Structure 1
Amino acid sequence: MDLYGRVFDLIDMRSFSNLWYWIALAVLWSTSSHWVLGVPFDLIQRARRRGGQAAEDVATLVGVNARRYLYIASEAGLWIAAFTGFALAVLVVLGFGYGVEFCQAVFLLVAPTTLVGLWSVRTARRYAERAPSGEALYRMLRWHRLGVQAMGIVSVFVTAMWGMWMNMVITGL
């Protein structure tokens, strides 16, 4: 066997043994936890420490994005929920029912991201109801980020365990 054949056997270009899949998973969760209701977390930290213009920017961005999320949820929420439910069901049936590894991989990326979207709408509703400002706003945004990070940790763990299981089954270990 030539060198390229051995390298591709070692790397294996399937979903769970593909380096790009794991890079995409890491980028997905690092980006999801960095952007809290559309506001970069470093701006939230700066606003909390220094106040001033950064605090005004955070309040403005959270207000704009919360209204945007609630508008989208009220206008197209039913259609988004129906399409998302259909897409997730198709991925589950093809991936876990018929054993299509690519669909399993996509499901393990998309399903937790759907939960993050629901969590964001919930936080936007809380913002609209309570209209927090100052430290109360920063606390709400920190709790939102913590929830997203917890979902990310669980998602990465489940994906890693499933990916290792699939690699062991396919390689016959």
Structure 2
Amino acid sequence: MSIYEMMVELIDLRSFSNLWYWIALAVVWSSASHWIMGIPYDLVLRARRQNPQSYSDLMDLVRINTNRIYTIVDMAGLWLLGFATFALSSLAVLAFLFWVEFAQAVFLIAFPISFVALLTLHTAEIIRRDHPEGEALFSLLARHRFFVQLIGVVALFVTAMFGMYQNLSIGPFG
């Protein structure tokens, strides 16, 4: 076996047949649904159970992360939007015009995550505008998590269907 063959076997760019891709996809979506606006959701649940220290920690993290999000948006928001749009457009062209499987795999992770980023920005705007506390804040974060999970379920379903299509149409030896 030559060094080239060994490297190709080690770094398999046929993403949809690679176990590591599916593990990474699961980690991305489980992390996205656990870390709501950078706040671990178990902290929200503990604060909701009337734990004063957890509630204080939650309020601090909400304030810190909302300010952090808006500092990033104020300083580099347009640049980030332009870069993200360029990157997603480039991935889409490579994925579905030139039919590059690695670009398809990355696009099927990055595109839905961009909706999560927009949802996070929207939730941060609501928190910045309304300053919810107590049950209103818990409800807002729970609703945010629900929509992140909904986006994740749809993304996982589409990715699984597309991945199965790719694996069945290409065959086992590509």
Same fold (TM over 0.5): yes
Partner of 2:83: 83
Supply the distance in 2 between the matched residues of 1:13 and 1:51 (Cα, whole angstroms): 48
The 8 Å contact of residues 13 and 101 in structure 2, kept in 1 or not, is answered as no
Partner of 2:44: 44
Task: Report the Cα offset of residue 13 of structure 1.
Answer: 6.2
Partner of 2:28: 28
Whichever residue aligns with residue 104 of structure 1, its letter is Q
Supply the distance in 1 between the matched residues of 2:94 and 2:41 (Cα, whole angstroms): 37
Q: Say what the alpha-carbon RMSD is for the aligned residues.
A: 1.4
Supply the distance in 1 between the matched residues of 2:119 and 2:94 (Cα, whole angstroms): 27
Partner of 2:171: 171
Aligned length: 162
Supply the distance in 2 between the matched residues of 1:92 and 1:39 (Cα, whole angstroms): 31
Matched, 1:116 2:109: no
Matched, 1:70 2:74: no
Matched, 1:58 2:58: yes
Supply the distance in 1 between the matched residues of 2:158 and 2:105 (Cα, whole angstroms): 11
Classify the secondary structure of the residue corresponding to 2:17. Answer: coil
| Structure 1 residues 13 and 91: alpha-carbon distance in aligned structure 2, compared to 1, 3 A threshold | closer
Supply the distance in 1 between the matched residues of 2:92 and 2:38 (Cα, whole angstroms): 29
Partner of 2:152: 152
The 8 Å contact of residues 16 and 166 in structure 2, kept in 1 or not, is answered as yes
Matched, 1:125 2:108: no
Partner of 1:3: none
Task: Report the Cα offset of residue 50 of structure 1.
Answer: 2.6
Supply the distance in 1 between the matched residues of 2:162 and 2:140 (Cα, whole angstroms): 33
Q: Map Cα deviations across residues 75-114 of structure 1 (whole Å, 9 max, x no partner).
A: 2111001001111111111111001000000000111111
Supply the distance in 2 between the matched residues of 1:45 and 1:137 (Cα, whole angstroms): 12
Q: Which runs of 5+ in 2 are unaligned?
A: 1-8
TM-score by length of 1: 0.90
| Runs of 4+ deviating beyond 6 Å | none
TM-score by length of 2: 0.90
Classify the secondary structure of the residue corresponding to 2:14. Answer: coil
Supply the distance in 1 between the matched residues of 2:127 and 2:27 (Cα, whole angstroms): 27
Supply the distance in 2 between the matched residues of 1:80 and 1:45 (Cα, whole angstroms): 32
Q: Map Cα deviations across residues 47-70 of structure 1 (whole Å, 9 max, x no partner).
A: 000330100100110111011111
Partner of 2:4: none
